[in-house]
Structure 1
Amino acid sequence: MTESKRETERKYEPSSSGVDGLPDLTGAGPVASVTASGPEELDAVYHDTADLRLAGSSATLRRRTGGPDAGWHLKLPLTGDTREEMRAPLSDEVPDALRELLTSRTRGAPLRPVMRIRSTRSVRHLRDAEGEVLAELSIDEVRADSLLPGGGRAEWQEVEVELADGVGAGLLDTVEKKFRKKGINRADSPSKFVRALRDTGAAAEGALRPGHATATAPGSPGRYVLAYLEQQVASLVALDPAARRDLPDGVHRMRVTCRRLRSCLRSYRSVLNRRAT
């Protein structure tokens, strides 16, 4: 049995003064008070294929213990700062329901543990005048250990701001303005997993963004055709979980994408390798 929710969050790098340099967010937009809790000890093992197909498509799958939401977590990208998270109870093996939702990304390759990330987390809740939580600000001391051959260890600090359900994204912009004044900037990695792969040396630079269009001559017909095909393939992969869950319009959107792919392959056969396509 799985649960699903959408999360909207942004990650930040602390300034040179560390987490002690975080601004007081009381009075930032609708924030009337800030309450603190923690620390919590979180221990997550991330799973992927041997060639990191999930990371390459901006998906993450982890088994986490500690904290209030222990279990299996699958995160899939939506738009902007928003992702969809599906959860399943703790078990020794990847739950079948989550494994199935990753079929378009794994394409049959087995999933295996590739990274262990432990975090010591302190939490600050941003509340409105009625005491309702508007957002959760997490301060993480992160330790990552690669489980892949040749990988190492990395440590860093990270700040994360996640909106509560129903809160507008404008609050994130307000918080970010406060952060920038203190020299706190957005993290350059979309997730702890991607940063851990980079910082531990488990994934070579550029390995997580495969593509063929940029390998062709600039301005050539092939470059434009391949770029379009890659866009449609990425759309097909991203839509697959929605179709499997019978979400509204999921199957229809996949069929439209398939028709576009077929049309492009047929119309531009003169610049494509027919043996491959």
Structure 2
Amino acid sequence: MTPRGTHSMTTTTEIERKYDVDRQLRLPDLLQIPGVAGLEFPGTVTLVAVYFDTETMNLAQNRIVLRRREGGGDAGWHIKLPAREGRTEMQWPLDVETGSGSGIDLDDSTGPGEAIDGGATDVPGRVLDPIRTIVRDRPLTPLARITTIRTTVLLLNDEGDAVAEIADDDVSASDMRGGVFRKWREWEVELFSAAPDSRKARTALLDAVEAALRAAGAQPSTSIAKIARALGADALTELTPSAPRTTKRAEPHAGSAASVVATLRELGARLLEADPRVRAEEPKGLRTMTATVQRLQSVLAVYRRLFERDTIEALRADLDVVGSALEAAAHAEARAGRVQKSLDHLAEPLRDEAAETRLLAETRADSLTAHAELRRMLTSRPYFGLLDRLDVFLLHPAVTPETYETAAREVTKSLGRGGRRLRESTDVALAARASAAGAVPTTPGESSALAGIDTVAAALREVHTAARRLRHAAEAVTPAADGGKKYRRLAAAAKKVEKALDAHGDDREFSVYVTGAATRAHAAGEATFVYGVLATRAEVEHDDVLADMRGEVKHIDRLSHKL
């Protein structure tokens, strides 16, 4: 139906029905269908499509189709995904560019920008981006070759616009792995852009067309997808071993280990959903994936004692690598956006073309570099290895025998340790700030604590990390159902501290960057007044954010003791 396009890719919603027909069958009088005022006959074309999948049929398991088709008006690379109504079809031209860094980095066997070897034809990296988390680093090879001789007729409304297309398909299919050749004929009815706006009306139109076709002798197809029928199945899911049936999980009790596991599973699913959005450079995609990885890191860090140590430590190490690349790209992107916004808000007398050019060029270059590094990481073997290990862990969480019976108690103890870490890191940060301001430490303990702190900023980052971990850990044991109010209160209080430090840290980081840019500008003989204005504004914007931090943290400490 209505297409949307980006990066030479278009996305459409495909709503269709298929029918099995005998070879001698002819189409009925289509003008008798309600809402059809005219017909158009585009003619006959030959379509040749090669379908791809991994050896273990990972795409079929997820009801996804990947093909390269020649012939007709939509020749190109196609991916079909399940949708709430019909299917979502993504399409790229046959000569689609691979895209910078879109090849998989397999110990340098595939360089950046190359495609994955799909046997007779390579699958471009840009095409694979939406399904990377499913394919990962597994080889893609041809699954079947389907040749379709298609004769079409368009059903037109009163305005002469096409509401649907009926395709009369003579299909020949070669199972390239099983060595079986199959032939059949089918009619395919697909809605077009002028189809009714409401789902109810669309269904009524399809029902009316179906009534006419069935009256002529057609029968609803036993196989929804041509590729399934080419391989001798009625559905894609029949091509793979059936998954064990699982019963619906009961709502976990607030504060239990089950609630921690449920949260981890939800975050794992969210990570797989966010990945293709980042690759497609969708708005908020990077922010969503960064936040998801941070939550996974926090929950595994706080509740690490619930699970087998080696498993958790390996996951945490892998997530640190992914998180660092995501945060670097997110920070670079945010800095570029802040520079643009700050310059836009400068009064005209303060405008400096050289300063604007330098700041915009530097931040944009930094953002491009960070995103390129992120894409390289997201197409690397270690990243796909992390996804594989995360799959196994989330399917069978490695809960230790020692904590299985006392897991709920361990949850409470973990949150208590998180609250204590936040309190201690806050004490150190405030003491460091007082020392930097010229105050004299009041106790030897404060003095020894300050010895390991290089800067106030480093100490505040520790507080921010502690607050974020505590918030995520409290949210992880708060089910959607009633109950768990004490955990929600704890999460809300920790979030307040986290968000305040977010703003303070962003201001500090921006001020440091602008000061560095001023140094580079001065070395190049450029004026630096504008840099000073921007740095000063950033410093004072949230300078008072720490005033009530000790009180907020004491409140959090009291809440954690009431669990």
Instruction: Look up the SS of the partner of 2:147 in the other structure.
Output: strand
Residue in 2 that maps onto 1:106: 135
Cα distance in 2 between the residues matched to 1:36 and 1:234 = 45
1:70 Cα deviation from its structure 2 partner: 1.8
1:200-215 to 2 correspondences below 5 Å = 206-208=238-240, 210-212=242-244, 214=245
Indicate whether 1:39 and 2:21 are aligned.
no
Give 2:240's aligned amino acid: L
Aligned mates of 1:93, 1:107 — CA distance in 2? 15
User: Quick one: distance in 2 between partners of 1:204 and 1:108?
Assistant: 22
Identical-residue share of aligned pairs (%): 32
Deviation at 1:247, TM superposition (A): 3.8
* Number of aligned residues: 262
The answer to whether structure 1 residue 164 and structure 2 residue 192 are counterparts is: yes
Provide the aligned C-alpha RMSD in A.
3.9
Gaps of 5+ in 1: none
Q: What's the offset of the Cα at 1:173?
A: 2.8
Q: Which amino acid aligns with 1:93?
A: D
Structure with bigger helix share is: 2
Q: Aligned partners of 1:241, 1:172: CA distance in 2, in Å?
A: 32
Single out whichever of 52-61 and 247-256 deviates more from structure 2: 247-256
Amino acid of the residue matched to residue 194 of structure 1?
A
User: SS of the residue aligned with 2:190?
Assistant: strand
CA–CA distance in structure 1, aligned partners of residues 291 and 209 of structure 2:
39
Give TM-score, length-normalised by structure 2.
Answer: 0.40
Alignment match of 2:213 (pick from 162, 175, 179): 179
- Counterpart-to-counterpart distance in 2, 1:130 and 1:97: 38
Give the 3 Å change call, closer, same or farther, for CA 14–248 of structure 1 in structure 2. Answer: same
- Picking from 63, 70, 77, the partner of 1:58 is 63
Letter in 1 for 2:38: S
> Does the CA-based 8 Å contact 2:152-2:167 persist in structure 1?
yes
Q: Which has the higher contact order (CA 8 A, sep 6+)?
A: 1
Q: Does 1:88 align with 2:93?
A: yes
1:7 partnered with 2:13: yes
Q: Which has the higher strand share?
A: 1
Given the superposition, is the C-alpha separation of residues 27 and 204 from structure 1 closer, same or farther in structure 2, using an over 3 Å criterion? closer
Cα shift at 1:139: 0.9
The equivalent of 1:198 in structure 2 is 232
Deviation at 1:256, TM superposition (A): 9.5
Contact 1:78 1:84 in 2 (8 A): no
Question: Is this contact kept in 2: 1:125–1:137, CA < 8 A?
Answer: yes
Name the CA distance, whole Å, in 2 between partners of 1:140 and 1:275.
Answer: 52
Structure with the greater alpha carbon radius of gyration: 2
In structure 2, how many angstroms separate the alpha carbons of the residues matched to 1:106 and 1:67? Answer: 28
Report the equivalent of 2:397: 274
Contact 2:25 2:217 in 1 (8 A): no
Q: TM-score, normalised by structure 1?
A: 0.76
| Alpha-carbon distance between aligned partners in 2 of 1:239 and 1:163, rounded to the nearest angstrom | 30
2:520 aligned residue: none
Which residue of structure 1 aligns with residue 167 of structure 2?
138
- Deviation digits for residues 46-84 of structure 1 (CA, Å, limit 9, x no counterpart): 111111111221111111111122222222222221323
For 1:164, give the aligned amino acid: F
CA spacing shift, 1:57–1:230, aligned 2, 3 Å? farther
Structure 1 residues 25 and 50: CA distance shift in structure 2, 3 A: same
In 1, the alpha carbon distance for the partners of 2:149 and 2:221 equals 18
Q: Which residue of 1 aligns with 2:483?
A: none
The one-letter amino acid paired with 1:154 is: R
Deviation at 1:189, TM superposition (A): 2.4
Contact kept? 1:74, 1:87, Cα under 8 Å: no
